[in-house]
Structure 1
Amino acid sequence: MTDPHPLVWAPADHQLAEGARWVDGRLVHTDILTGRLFELPAGSRDRRELLSLDVPLGAVAPVAGRPGHWIAAAGTGIALLAPDGGVEWLARPEQDAATPARMNDGVCDPRGRFWAGSLAYDTTPGAGSLYRTDPDGSVHRVLSGLTIVNGPAFGPDARELFVADSAAGRILRVGLDEAGDPRETEVFAQVTEGEPDGMTVDTEGHLWVAVWGGGVIHRYAPDGTLVARLPVPVPQPTSVCLHPDQGLLFVTSAAIGLADPGLSGSLLALPVDARGLPATAYAAG
């Protein structure tokens, strides 16, 4: 697992690709700043645009029982997206932020609650928050005082959340009660060769983390030990997604801010000895 050979799975034309998830037999991901959502069917590199918003689109999750519908971390809040392009805003908690801010990465936990983080455009320290959207559509600030909130990731247990405070180089492990409120928070890992970005948990409970600025993917054991480093040919990997069956790790990347992007902005695939879990759907009430 230490010498993978990455494949370019989709072309290098994303500005800030993010939110890679395995949904209903296909890979979906966003290009945040252009507000676009893409899909690639299983075994295909034929990327298709599903929708486009006029605000940044951080990440999505499918809505249970509603094919083609998504819950999204978008613009300054959380929205439901319909196949016809309709947008229903559940809340815009960052709309009146003291410093202009946007939503970032997001994921559903095993109970169908949607979790998403935010950041100030100028990355003002402490301006980022983590939000939880419950099945009734209510949106709650769960953590505050962070800077660039990335990741949220769950294994099969909804009582343990992983989230990155990227600017601080920290990955936090948060114990949750039945309602989804924090019981305790601890530093799971400290990243020193870049900033932890998107992450996912494999079927063995290991955490995979894209390291922005490090050109590498980290794999951590459940106790926080770094057990593998996978170099990638892009300096700004942004999110990771494990195929549930085929031993592939998908990696999104960003070209923003690079004078010579090369492969940056492409979607990569790396052979790995691990499997992932399909994305959990939002359990809309």
Structure 2
Amino acid sequence: MSELQTLLTGLGFGESPRWHEGRLWFSNWGTQEVVAVDLAGTNEVMVRVPTTIPFCIDWLPDGCLLVVSGREGLLLRRESNGELVTHADLSGLAGIWNEIVVDGRGNVYINGGDFGAPGIIALVTPDGSARLVADGIAFPNGMAVTPDNKTLIVAESHGNCLTAFDIDAVGNLLNRRVWAALEGAAPDGICLDAEGAVWYGDVPNKRCVRVREGGEILQTIHLDRGCFACMLGGINKQTLFMMAAEWRGFEHMADGARTGQVLTAQAPAPGVGWP
């Protein structure tokens, strides 16, 4: 791994990083902004979202931006004129929604749940219908889909593990299994690389970790604040972007502190799959 670099500072809580059209896009929680930044650190606000937290992003195969409006239970779609419209209403399935990943077939997976209850994953199909496809997940966070569209991996932050599901022809999740047990870890946002490993952010342990299936730790990057999510992008998709911020508990998330940063390092293998 190369030396750690600071790309951007002064953020709230950077979440849901995505490499898209030559820039890193991410949700800036606490500010109602979706921001894009290039490799030189030049950044701009791309979308303003009518919610505070959580909201996460990804793209449909046709290039339309999707935004999860978590507290409202809505999946929003940005139209060509910049307007955000309802793509799917998830409010009947759970009380709050968190992370999103769109696979190569246009299936949209979104996780969430209700406070004090096990988490779930919902599927929004290309025709706009939504249904529950997994439950009993211990605080679901980041998700990724393998390049062949056959496996979904989800971080269970309170389960200390990464969990995998097979994806069938109609998008259902089957054959649940522990992909990697992570004792003492709280995996958050994740991404996949070409060697079959997963990078995950870990807020309480202030680190970003690369792990292979079965749980072998390959690399650990220690930070001075919590790592909420990570993404591979940049030249040849071999730059690791880490979303870091000081964590003082949920009760302080809206206190206006701007400790959020985007950090980078060169990774040993390029990013693959979705997001």
Check whether TM > 0.5. Answer: yes
Structure 1 or 2: larger strand share?
2
Does residue 248 (structure 1) correspond to residue 242 (structure 2)? The answer is no
Equivalent residue number for residue 15 of structure 2? 18
For residue 73 of structure 1, the aligned residue among 68, 71, 80 is 68
Gaps of 5+ in 1: 281-285
Structure 2 residue corresponding to 1:274, chosen from 223, 244, 269: 269
User: Mean Cα displacement is larger for which, 193-202 or 268-277?
Assistant: 268-277
Q: Which TM-score applies when normalising by structure 2?
A: 0.86
Give aligned pairs, total. Answer: 266
Q: Distance in 1 between matches of 2:199 and 2:258?
A: 21
2:67 maps to a residue whose letter is A
* Deviation for aligned residue 1:151: 1.2
CA deviation after TM superposition for structure 1 residue 153, in Å? 0.5
Candidates 199, 202, 209, aligned match of 2:190: 199
Instruction: Specify the code of the residue in structure 2 equivalent to 1:8.
Output: T
Write the letter of the residue equivalent to 1:46. Answer: T
Counterpart position of 1:239: 229
Post-superposition offset of 1:7: 1.3
Within 2, Cα distance between the matches of 1:270 and 1:252?
A: 12
Segment drifting more, 147-156 vs 20-29: 147-156
* Whole-angstrom distance in 2 between the partners of 1:60 and 1:181: 21
What one-letter code is carried by the residue in structure 2 that aligns with 1:266?
Q
Query: 2:5 matched to which residue of 1?
Result: 7
Distance 2:154 2:187 in 1: 9
Partner of 1:64: 61
Separation in 1 of the partners of 2:99 and 2:35?
Answer: 15
Q: Which amino acid aligns with 1:94?
A: S
Question: Are positions 1:48 and 2:38 aligned together?
Answer: no
Q: Which residue of 2 aligns with 1:125?
A: 117
Residue 38 of structure 1 corresponds to 35
CA distance in 2, matches of 1:96, 1:105: 15
Amino acid at match of 1:237: C
Q: Percent identity?
A: 20
Would the alpha carbon gap of residues 263 and 225 (structure 1) be closer, same or farther in structure 2, given more than 3 Å must change?
farther
Matched, 1:171 2:158: no
Listed as ranges, the gaps of 5+ residues in structure 2 are none
Whole-angstrom distance in 1 between the partners of 2:197 and 2:144:
11
Q: Which moved more, 1:30-39 or 1:201-210?
A: 30-39
After TM superposition, list the pairs within 5 Å mapping 1:100-249 onto structure 2: 101-120=95-114, 123-126=115-118, 128-234=119-225, 236-243=226-233, 245=236, 247-249=238-240
Contact 1:109 1:154 in 2 (8 A): yes
Structure 1 runs (4+) greater than 3 angstroms displaced = 63-66, 94-97, 261-264, 277-280
CA RMSD of aligned residues (A): 2.5
TM-score by length of 1: 0.84
Distance 2:237 2:102 in 1: 23
Q: Secondary structure at the match of 2:272?
A: coil
> 2: CA distance between counterparts of 1:164 and 1:279?
14
Q: In the aligned structure 1, how far is the partner of 2:6 from the partner of 2:172?
A: 40
Any conservation in 2 of the 1:17–1:30 contact (CA below 8 Å)?
yes
Q: Once the 2 structures are TM-superposed, how far is the Cα of residue 163 of structure 1 from its aligned partner?
A: 0.3
Q: Distance in 2 between matches of 1:274 and 1:203?
A: 6
SS in 1 for 2:260: coil
